[in-house]
């Protein structure tokens, strides 16, 4: 791979990169030690990051089967290769993590374009296992590395969730349950939270998937619970008043979402929560949360535009005489 094929994988013409990946993939499947193989591949990206997409295409071709399915090697290969997204999975070698992310994101995109929805479950299962494995590392001394690792996995998840508006999500409810675990996880960084909200948004807005109403309500309830728990109404208003002097990139993700055009955002939420109260799927717990949300929003609206001072009685009498 270090000679001719390595050069072809970084070729500027896509069809040449694809041809090289397809022809070399047969030999890749013959390797017994996938861990050593992928470490060697990704180590090469330190000196040649422009090979990232070519490397991703090579992994896709290796896992590509016939009739819009994965090859039998994909179950093992995908589980191993996703561990290369960060050190939190026990990787001893320091790899160019961003280049690895780019390569595997391209692999995921190529897989979504080729593999049928029901056969893409192998990739989804591997991603969810990786997410849960790294999630368990957040409360360790390597929490920063675990957050960065988690963010790279979420980046790939976002690519798959957005693909054709959710058309390639094999088990939407399973993905929703995994996201619920992440939403409730302590110790997530700002960038992780932000990307997680993007994945959740893409899932809820997907036009080509179906989710049980109970799962949607639970996910939305947890998301808004986090948003409102981040600041009480008075703190939120103070943050909104001083937002011109703050960089948006330094604000926590939940308040940043709420104070973006705060007055309009609150009024939109009132309508949304009132609509939720009419749902036939609303249970007692979810209903109580919606009412709490309405009270929170009502207080914010009041603080934005408090009642004006009562009119002077003398002025009222003059107005009546007129």
What's 140's domain CATH number?
1.25.10
Compute CA distances 109 → 112, 119, 224, 268, whole Å: 5, 14, 31, 35
- If asked whether residues 76 and 38 sit together in one domain, one would say yes
- If asked whether residues 131 and 276 sit together in one domain, one would say no
Q: Residue 71 is part of which domain span?
A: 1-208
Domain annotation covers residue 320: no
- If asked whether residues 182 and 270 sit together in one domain, one would say no
Residue 243's contacts (CB-CB under 8 Å, 6 or more residues apart) are: 251, 259
Q: Number of structural domains, the chain?
A: 2
Domain annotation covers residue 317: no
- If asked whether residues 101 and 190 sit together in one domain, one would say yes
Domain annotation covers residue 31: yes
Indicate left, alpha or beta for 176 from its phi (over 0: left) and psi (-120 to 50: alpha).
alpha
185 neighbors 171 (Cβ within 8 angstroms): no
Please tell me the predicted confidence (pLDDT) of residue 244.
53
Please tell me the predicted confidence (pLDDT) of residue 257.
63
Domain annotation covers residue 312: no
Domain limit, last residue, from 208, 243, 262: 208
Structure tokens given for 115: 């593999």
Rounded CA gap, 194 and 151, in Å?
10
Please tell me the predicted confidence (pLDDT) of residue 55.
95
- pTM (2 d.p.): 0.81
- If asked whether residues 186 and 291 sit together in one domain, one would say no
Compute CA distances 266 → 111, 116, 135, 263, 276, whole Å: 41, 41, 32, 5, 15
- If asked whether residues 93 and 176 sit together in one domain, one would say yes
Structure tokens given for 13: 């013409």
The segments of the chain whose pLDDT lies below 70 read 1-5, 89, 230, 243-257, 307-322
Domain limit, last residue, from 208, 226, 248: 208
- If asked whether residues 254 and 204 sit together in one domain, one would say no
- If asked whether residues 66 and 192 sit together in one domain, one would say yes
- If asked whether residues 202 and 160 sit together in one domain, one would say yes
Taking every pair of Cα atoms in the chain, the longest distance, rounded to a whole number of angstroms, is 98
Rounded CA gap, 163 and 67, in Å?
20
What pLDDT, in 10s, does the model give residues 118-172? 999 999 999 999 999 999 888 877 889 999 999 999 999 999 999 999 999 999 9
Please tell me the predicted confidence (pLDDT) of residue 309.
46
Please tell me the predicted confidence (pLDDT) of residue 3.
54
Domain annotation covers residue 87: yes
- If asked whether residues 112 and 162 sit together in one domain, one would say yes
49 neighbors 5 (Cβ within 8 angstroms): no
- If asked whether residues 159 and 245 sit together in one domain, one would say no
Rounded CA gap, 6 and 100, in Å?
16
Domain annotation covers residue 243: yes
| CA nearest neighbour of 146 among 156, 157, 133 | 133
63 neighbors 73 (Cβ within 8 angstroms): yes
DSSP 171: -
Domain annotation covers residue 318: no
Domain limit, last residue, from 180, 208, 236: 208
Domain annotation covers residue 9: yes
- If asked whether residues 159 and 286 sit together in one domain, one would say no
């Amino acid at each position: 791979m270090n000679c001719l094929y390595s050069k072809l994988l970084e070729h500027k013409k896509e069809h040449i990169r694809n041809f090289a990946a397809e022809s070399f993939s047969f030999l890749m499947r013959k390797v017994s030690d996938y861990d050593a193989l992928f470490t060697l591949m990704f180590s090469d990206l330190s000196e040649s990051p422009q090979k990232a997409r070519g490397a991703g295409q090579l992994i896709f071709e290796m896992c590509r089967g016939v009739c819009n399915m994965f090859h039998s090697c994909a179950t093992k290969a995908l589980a191993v290769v996703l561990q290369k997204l960060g050190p939190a999975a026990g990787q001893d070698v320091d790899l160019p993590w961003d280049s690895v992310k780019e390569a595997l994101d391209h692999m995921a995109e190529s897989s979504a374009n080729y593999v049928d929805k029901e056969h893409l479950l192998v990739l989804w299962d591997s991603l969810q296992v990786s997410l849960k494995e790294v999630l368990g590392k957040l409360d360790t001394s390597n929490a920063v590395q675990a957050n960065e690792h988690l963010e790279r996995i979420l980046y790939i998840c976002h690519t798959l969730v957005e693909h054709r508006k959710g058309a390639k999500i094999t088990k939407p409810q399973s993905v929703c349950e995994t996201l619920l675990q992440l939403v409730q996880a302590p110790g997530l960084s700002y960038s992780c939270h932000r990307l997680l909200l993007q994945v959740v948004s893409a899932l809820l807005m997907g036009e080509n998937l179906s989710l049980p109403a109970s799962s949607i309500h639970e996910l939305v309830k947890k998301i808004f619970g986090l948003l409102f728990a981040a600041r009480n109404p008075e703190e939120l208003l103070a943050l909104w008043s001083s937002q011109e002097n703050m960089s948006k990139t330094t604000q926590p993700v939940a308040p940043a979402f709420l104070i973006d055009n705060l007055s309009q955002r609150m009024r939109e939420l009132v309508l949304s929560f009132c609509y939720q109260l009419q749902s036939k799927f609303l249970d007692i717990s979810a209903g109580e949360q919606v009412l709490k949300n309405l009270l929170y929003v009502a207080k914010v609206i009041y603080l934005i535009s408090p009642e004006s001072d009562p009119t002077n009685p003398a002025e009222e009498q003059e107005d009546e005489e007129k």
